[in-house]
Amino acid sequence: MIFANCVAIPIILPPSAQEPALALAATCRSWRNIVLNIPNLWSNIFIDFSSCRQTVELLEYAKAWLSRNKTSLIPLRNSTSRWAERRMQQANVDPIMHLVAPYLDRCREIDLRFLEAPIDEFFTFPTGSIDRLEVLHLETLGFSMPFTYASGAPLEVFRSAPRLRRVLFSTDLCSIDPHALGLPWAQLTGLHFIATYIPPLAIHTILSGSTVLRDCSLSIIQLDDALAAALARLPDCVLPALRSLMVEFSPETIDYAPFLRPLVLPALADLELRPPDAGRLPHCPWSQRAYTSLLSRSGFVLHRLAILHYMVTPQDLRAVLSGMPSLTDFTLHLWETTPWDATILHGIGTGALLPRLEAFTFSAFPTPDVLAALEARVRMGRSGGGEYVHCAACIHRA
């Protein structure tokens, strides 16, 4: 049991002498043999490019490590830094072709996050390359693969992906043609397009064919009057299993109700609405109509709600909080010049609002007023309120 537990978490490469598995292996010859023959030691790694100055050498080290076990399914995960990526670029090393390609048929999970390094080569792999892949997370600002082909045929790499369940693409507002992408939408339980542009009508086409989705993140960059009229003609899109939804809307989108209108989400428990890159955007108005109409259609019971960098009137915020007493986790980031409404803070402090609150994340203006409300809440728990004992807060500086 000791030996199994010591390799239950990923081995960070390059490894340190304090790594539990290596510390056990150094104890004696017998223990060394046991540890070195545990398959998971050689198949569960995390490549830490951020703390290694020999980037290319670390890639070779990772390949040598993985070669010790040639049969087990593997996850590929990494951290990164611009310095490390530039070293790879100087050495003409493509991380996808150098690290992923040799082990693609063994990959159960690919979770690669880069700042600038390209990931385009992943989308050139042939049919059958990812038959064992269950999770695909690719994040980079260097993504430039054009997804429009003269033939209009979908990419070959996703034509056969029978085990794929979770997909995340995070780019620098790269435009993707979902038809050319050709993901197996009907089998996905997690789908996340972060800062990635897909036309709103195409997103609804995707969602209507993704009936087993449990969590989803979307970026809506364009929503004009013509699109709003087209969205109004769409039939209802019922996602019976969806529990978590994050949507970021362009700051030019004054009312995002048209995009949400077709959605019916009866199981939704976690909702986050925000503008993209909120710290550098102008003030964005909160659409109470979008929220209330989605709630009216779906009848969901939320446990977490995050409203990030929207201009919310006290009346609207009070209506949201009083109408959702089930919330245990609430996040509200106001602009620095936006004061909290005193009656709302009083309601939070007395438990009249958010009676089940356990986690509260808020923007720091004015901090003393918010902290006073939380202190009142904590005192209530200490005096026998019970449900309020676990209330905690995290201050976010906008």
- Sorted by where each begins, the domain ranges of the chain are 1-117, 312-398
Task: Provide the percentage of residues in the chain whose pLDDT is more than 70.
Answer: 85
Q: Which helix (H) or strand (E) holds 216?
A: strand 215-220
Residue of 336, 331, 392 lying closest to 364 (CA atoms): 336
Confidence of residue 397 (pLDDT cuts 50, 70, 90): low
With H, G, I as helix, E, B as strand and everything else as coil, classify residue 33. helix
Residue of 396, 335, 320, 392 lying closest to 360 (CA atoms): 392
Contact by Cβ (8 Å): 132, 101: no
Range with the poorest average pLDDT among 7-11, 62-66, 184-188: 7-11
| Burial class of 152 by CB neighbour count within 10 A (0 to 12, 13 to 18, 19+) | exposed
With H, G, I as helix, E, B as strand and everything else as coil, classify residue 66. helix
For residue 22, give the amino acid letter: L
Average pLDDT over residues 162-184: 89
Average pLDDT over residues 263-274: 97
Give Cα separations from 62 to 10, 55, 69 (angstroms).
13, 11, 12
pLDDT at 9: 72
Give Cα separations from 110 to 49, 127, 132, 216, 286 (angstroms).
16, 17, 11, 18, 36
Confidence of residue 171 (pLDDT cuts 50, 70, 90): confident
Average pLDDT over residues 363-374: 75
Polymer length of the chain: 398
> What DSSP designation does 185 have?
G
Contact by Cβ (8 Å): 256, 290: yes
pLDDT (tens digit per residue) in 314-349:
999 999 999 999 999 999 887 666 778 889 999 998
Average pLDDT over residues 39-50: 82
CB atoms within 10 A of CB 96: 21
CB atoms within 10 A of CB 7: 20
pLDDT at 252: 72
Confidence of residue 155 (pLDDT cuts 50, 70, 90): confident
Tokens of 99: 């690290």
pLDDT at 119: 86
CA dihedral 282, 283, 289, 290 (to 10 degrees): 40
Contacts of 1 (CB under 8 A, 6+ apart): none
Contacts of 298 (CB under 8 A, 6+ apart): 263, 264, 265, 266, 268
pLDDT at 263: 97
| Burial class of 372 by CB neighbour count within 10 A (0 to 12, 13 to 18, 19+) | middle
pLDDT at 10: 80
Contact by Cβ (8 Å): 347, 353: yes
Per the model's pLDDT, the better-predicted residue between 34 and 184 turns out to be: 184
Contact by Cβ (8 Å): 370, 398: no
pLDDT at 169: 92
The Cα–Cα gap between 357 and 329 comes to: 6
Contact by Cβ (8 Å): 284, 308: no
63 bridge partner residues: none
Confidence of residue 386 (pLDDT cuts 50, 70, 90): very low
Q: What is the pTM of this model?
A: 0.88
Dihedrals phi, psi of 151, to nearest 5 degrees? -75, -25
Confidence of residue 309 (pLDDT cuts 50, 70, 90): confident
Is the predicted pLDDT of residue 6 greater than 70, yes or no?
no
Confidence of residue 389 (pLDDT cuts 50, 70, 90): very low
The mean pLDDT value of the chain amounts to: 85
Residue of 147, 49, 145 lying closest to 99 (CA atoms): 49
Average pLDDT over residues 10-21: 76
pLDDT at 388: 45
Per the model's pLDDT, the better-predicted residue between 265 and 392 turns out to be: 265
The Cα–Cα gap between 125 and 137 comes to: 16
Range with the poorest average pLDDT among 24-33, 348-357, 382-391: 382-391
For residue 310, give the amino acid letter: Y
The Cα–Cα gap between 68 and 242 comes to: 40
